[in-house]
Amino acid sequence: MVCGMPSILAAGLPDRDEESMMTNLLELKDLRTRFHTPEGTIYAVNGVSFHIADGETLAIVGESGCGKSVTMMSMLRLIPIPPGEILSGSAIFQGKDLLQLSDRELEHIRGQCISMVFQEPMTSLNPVLTVGRQLTESLQVHLEMDKLQARGRAIELLDLVGIADPNNRLGDYPHQFSGGMRQRVMIAIALACNPNLLIADEPTTALDVTIQAQIVELVIRLRQQQGMAVIWVTHDLGVVAGLADRVVVMYSGYIVEEGDVFDIYNRPEHPYTQALLAALPRSDRRRENTRLKSIPGAPPNLLVEPSGCPFAPRCPLAAQDCRDANPVLSPVAPGHRIACWRGGDR
């Protein structure tokens, strides 16, 4: 297994040529995840496929409950089984299927080759262990550093993510850090082994706007320094405009649109993407027309087996064929696909 990057403290990496950028670091195909509960089966992820190139930033967006986080957790086999079940799919990372690896092989990849920053750092960090202990643990396990080497690297990592006086702060516990600082610690832990792929699952949700902007800028800077690929999972389309290269839009466990970030923002084709963008607050709106638009209706009941287009009950363009069958993702422009019977030129 080939993974890991050059030193994170290097001044920067040379620009990757077009050929290397076209190499898929990860390719997810037809992922289907279910949860079996006393109330019935939850159809959480329904045939999701996407890829991310080496060094690329991919944003996965959609409202809460659409399957974004479950897709990431399933891909890394972090969902509890039971009640969870991965019915089908493959996740090819550096030539190996993550869904078929042994637990031991997957443990080598998680943390060292693929790292994840979770949504709530206070519950992700162990409250009874110091930050230093949590930082050095992965360095000793994955990189086989001794205690002195691991401590030195931990100090470098905290400094890298902008935490002042890192030498002394290694002995602090998570509750002694602010929300933004805890998220920086989580990013430092995720970067400890120089991963090829960083997955950030709603990393700015619980933070105020100023701290959100700082975290986004931090990830952009670290991506440029390390050359790693990033999957940024969020419900907020406004966050990813200056962050992502491509965007995947999910709804009810399906991908409904994917494309270049410019196309998604300037030429959205799926009615759901259009509705999400219309709901964003914008500084260029006229004062007398500042009321935000909402999407009518309610998200679908995931306990009901999908049939037809999942967005049809809330879509102003829906017709009978939308209720009868769910369209597959089809191109409307180079690199731009939607799953809609009415969108594009159809």
**Percent of the chain having pLDDT more than 70?**
87
Joined together, the tokens standing for residue 301 give 């009941």
Mean pLDDT throughout 226-249?
Answer: 87
| The predicted structure's pLDDT at residue 50 | 94
pLDDT at 267 over 80: yes
Query: What separation, in Å, do the N-terminal and C-terminal C-alpha atoms of the chain show?
Result: 44
Phi-psi region of 327 (alpha: psi -120 to 50; beta: other; left: phi over 0): beta
Mean pLDDT of the chain: 82
Calpha distance 34→42 (Å, rounded) = 6
Q: Is the pLDDT of residue 47 over 70?
A: yes
Residue 308 has pLDDT above 60, yes or no: yes
Burial 3-38 (b: 16+ CB within 10 A, else e): bebeebeeeeeeeeeeeeeeebbbebbebbbbbeee
Report the pLDDT value the prediction gives residue 28, as an integer from 0 to 100.
Answer: 94
pLDDT at res. 15? 41
Q: What are phi and psi of 176, to 5 degrees?
A: -90, 0
User: In this structure, which amino acid lies at residue 196?
Assistant: N
Higher pLDDT, 105 or 119: 105
Q: Tell me: the pLDDT tens digits for 268-302? A: 999 999 888 887 776 555 555 566 777 888 888 89
Dump pLDDT digits (tens) for 63-115: 888 889 999 999 999 988 889 899 999 999 988 899 998 888 888 888 778 88
Q: What is the pLDDT of residue 283?
A: 58
pLDDT score, position 9: 35
| pLDDT surpassing 70 at residue 18 | no
Q: Poorest-confidence range of 7-16, 129-138, 206-215, 289-298?
A: 7-16
- pLDDT higher than threshold 90 for residue 119: no
Query: Which pLDDT value is given to residue 144?
Result: 79
> Between 129 and 281, whose confidence is greater?
129
Give the per-residue pLDDT at 153: 86
Q: Tell me what the mean pLDDT of segment 261-268 comes to.
A: 90
The arithmetic mean of pLDDT across residues 28-52, rounded, is 93
Helix (H) or strand (E) holding 71: helix 68-75
Query: Which stretches does DSSP call E strand in the chain?
Result: 24-37, 40-53, 57-61, 84-93, 96-97, 114-117, 197-201, 229-234, 246-251, 254-260, 330-333, 336-338
Convert the pLDDT of each residue in 182-205 to its tens digit. Answer: 888 888 888 887 888 999 888 777
Greater pLDDT, 230 or 281: 230
What's the rounded mean pLDDT across residues 32-39?
93
Residues contacting 254, CB < 8 A, separation 6+:
46, 47, 48, 67, 306, 310, 326, 339
pLDDT band at 316 (very low <50, low <70, confident <90, very high): confident
pLDDT at 21: 41
Please list the alpha-helical segments (H only) found in 161-270. Answer: 166-169, 179-191, 209-226, 237-240, 261-266
Across the range 147-175, mean pLDDT stands at 87
Report the C-alpha dihedral over residues 10, 16, 20, 24, rounded to 10 degrees: 70
